[in-house]
Chain A
Amino acid sequence: MAQWQRQLVKIDDYRWQIPQTYKTGMRVPGLIYASQEMLESMRDEQTPDQVANVAFLPGIVGCSLAMPDIHWGYGFPIGGVAAMDTGEGVVSPGGVGYDINCGVRLLRTNLSEGEVRPRIRELVDALFRDVPSGLGSEGKIKVSQKEMDQLMVGGANWAVKRGFGLDDDLDVTEEGGCLAGANPDRISDRARKRGMPQAGTLGSGNHFLEVQVVKEVFDRHSAGIMGITGPGQVLVLIHTGSRGFGHEVCTDYLRTMEGAVTRYGIKLPDRQLACAPVESPEGQAYLEAMACAANYAWANRQCIAHWVRKSFSQVLGRSADELGMRQIYDVAHNIAKLEEHKVDGRRLKVCVHRKGATRAFPPGHKDIPRRYADIGQPVLVPGDMGRCSFVAVGTQRAMDESFGSTCHGAGRLLSRGAAKRSINGREVIRELEQRGITVRAESIPSLAEEASRAYKDVSAVIDVVHEAGISRKVAMATPLGVVKG
């Protein structure tokens, strides 16, 4: 692929603008958060062109934003944020992605590395056994048609009512684990059929469970409020989404939007950007269906968190409560939200698309848990399985500049095919074990796709958002044990 050669306007060391004049049809400029070095790989991938394409969408306000972990997606780039005026703007399923509410949940423990390391093999085996994972995996919970409706409306709430986890978990989940407006009538039979057997499963691909140890704390006050005590403490990270259910919802509504694009006379540079006005019947139907899928994902992570606690409790012979396994937070990485933001000095209702991006609301915001009111919303940024993950918090600058959004992870460097050709799954396991990381995976070859070398370094990504001021680093943790589908 040819390199993207056009000029980017440097705003400062971490901000680069794609002028509105780059392409006729752009309604706003593009804004990329990146270091000078990162720009090169972005240019190789032509991602700035995708950022510019998003700027064509009707009703877009501010800038078409790109986070430093951005990589090429279909239509919208992954790592992109776009806010549309709900009055005259559009909603696009491609701006959310297929895996609706793919996201991350982080649990703390009272355990130290010294206590866990000698038992890590047992723990990882227990997690592998207790949390259904892998391609074609089916859940341990059987969901009837009627329960599926309740799950779509209730999200994590539904799971807690069924005995999976604690009320306290809901307090520290984005949207309380239940996005309003979910309407099961908007869900096709096919989506239900894909979703019902997969409820409560981790899935495959880049989804994982990770037992981590805190390596560094950058902000002791914020860490303390989250229950992160210091280096050596063990945490557990859960990364999964809405499985085949979300994919079917996205596929269904891309089809709907194809028709809508013609009906409303919307001109697009890429078919995968298909969209409809937020206020149109098609736009509303998508938002109601997307909420069902978002809730499905929250129910999914809620069930998995429950089984994680059970596995720990069984292996270590103490209750999850005694082990201090409280939830720190749960965030969505792929979602569209109706929010109020300040645009050009006035309050505006917007539909914020975050595709591979995290909400990062500042201290004092009404939508974040009271316990975090002083520090800002926790932001969870997983890296690849060999390196590290970060906990950060949202800032006022994010609110003022990026519609309260920040990065979501490392971002791919090598395609899955290129990773498989150059890296061997068994070698990956050996390398990780040499570094003291225990891995269990359903599929050994697919491990190669997720090797460290296939990803950008998440530390560089987090440094950019920290330096740019759209979030603040709190802590860093490295893996002890990994379970992959």
Chain B
Amino acid sequence: MKGSFEIIDHTADVGIIAYGADAKKLFSNAALALFSLITEPETIEGRLRFDLEVSAPDRESLLVEWLNELIYLFDAEHVLLSRFDIEALTLTDLRAACYGERFDQVKHKLKTGVKAATYHMLKLDKDGDEYRAQVIFDV
């Protein structure tokens, strides 16, 4: 079993490869990878709960939508998240309870301004028992 995610390089931008024993774990690890690009996830306390629902025409798009939803929360409302309980997941719909807090200049060090999850080189597949997804972000 590999780790929960890896960060990969892309000349103009940056990407992630997330792993998961099931699709729910994959989606939650991809979210964690995203926030590890933005800041140090260990510094985020799960003080606030955000209930999110996302839909898309297929599972790959759903992953992009899910990550874009989280980027929106960060960029528009300055919310940092570190725990993602995926409560329901189908090929086209996701419901999650996410925990985190608002950005605090003293407590959190911002690393990268991730601005969008892209469809570029987007991959989501199953290798044996393990799910694997690759997403490139615009930063």
Known: A194-B72, A415-B14, A416-B13. A272 touches B119 (CB 8 A): yes
B110 to A415, Cβ gap below 8 A? no
| Among B7, B110, B113: residue with most chain A CB under 10 A | B113
A247 to B110, Cβ gap below 8 A? no
Count of chain B residues with a beta carbon within 8 Å of a chain A beta carbon: 32
Least distance between B55 CB and chain A CB atoms (Å): 11
Least distance between B81 CB and chain A CB atoms (Å): 15
A74 to B57, Cβ gap below 8 A? no
A445 to B115, Cβ gap below 8 A? no
From B10, B112, B116, B138, A446 is in contact (CB under 8 Å) with: B112
Q: In whole angstroms, how far apart are the Cα atoms of A445 and B72 in the complex? A: 24
B36 near A: Cβ within 8 Å?
Answer: no
Q: In whole angstroms, how far apart are the Cα atoms of A45 and B10 in the complex? A: 10
Least distance between A443 CB and chain B CB atoms (Å): 7
Q: In whole angstroms, how far apart are the Cα atoms of A335 and B12 in the complex? A: 18
A54 near B: Cβ within 8 Å?
Answer: no
A250 near B: Cβ within 8 Å?
Answer: yes
Q: In whole angstroms, how far apart are the Cα atoms of A81 and B71 in the complex? A: 29
A9 near B: Cβ within 8 Å?
Answer: no
Q: In whole angstroms, how far apart are the Cα atoms of A250 and B139 in the complex? A: 14
B89 near A: Cβ within 8 Å?
Answer: no
Known: A244-B76, A259-B57. A415 touches B10 (CB 8 A): yes
Taking CB atoms and an 8 Å cut-off, the chain A residues in 201-248 that contact chain B are 203-205, 244, 247-248
B136 to A248, Cβ gap below 8 A? no
Q: What 1/0 mask marks residues of chain B from 52 to 79 whose CB sits below 8 Å from any chain A CB?
A: 0000010001000100100010011110
Contacts of B72 in A (CB 8 A): 190, 193-194, 248
Known: A190-B76, A418-B9. A74 touches B121 (CB 8 A): yes
Q: In whole angstroms, how far apart are the Cα atoms of A244 and B111 in the complex? A: 17
B76 to A194, Cβ gap below 8 A? yes
A135 near B: Cβ within 8 Å?
Answer: yes
A135 to B11, Cβ gap below 8 A? no
Q: SS class of chain B's interface: helix, strand, loop or mixed?
A: loop
Closest residue to B56 on the A side, CB-wise? A255
Q: In whole angstroms, how far apart are the Cα atoms of A443 and B109 in the complex? A: 9
Least distance between A334 CB and chain B CB atoms (Å): 12
A412 near B: Cβ within 8 Å?
Answer: yes
Closest residue to A194 on the B side, CB-wise? B76
A412 to B12, Cβ gap below 8 A? yes
Q: In whole angstroms, how far apart are the Cα atoms of A251 and B70 in the complex? A: 13
Contacts of B11 in A (CB 8 A): 45, 71-72, 412, 414-415
Taking CB atoms and an 8 Å cut-off, the chain A residues in 71-111 that contact chain B are 71-75, 78, 98-99
B68 to A251, Cβ gap below 8 A? yes
From B75, B118, B136, A194 is in contact (CB under 8 Å) with: B75
Known: A193-B76, A205-B113, A244-B75. A75 touches B120 (CB 8 A): yes
From A244, A417, A443, B110 is in contact (CB under 8 Å) with: A443
Contacts of B110 in A (CB 8 A): 135-136, 443
Q: In whole angstroms, how far apart are the Cα atoms of A270 and B8 in the complex? A: 20
A416 to B14, Cβ gap below 8 A? yes
16 contacts between A and B (CB under 8 A): A45-B11, A71-B11, A72-B10, A74-B119, A98-B115, A99-B115, A136-B113, A190-B76, A194-B72, A194-B76, A247-B75, A254-B119, A258-B61, A272-B119, A414-B11, A416-B9
* A→B interface (CB under 8 Å): 45, 71-75, 78, 98-99, 135-136, 190, 193-194, 197, 203-205, 244, 247-248, 250-251, 254-255, 258-259, 270-272, 274, 412, 414-418, 443, 445-446
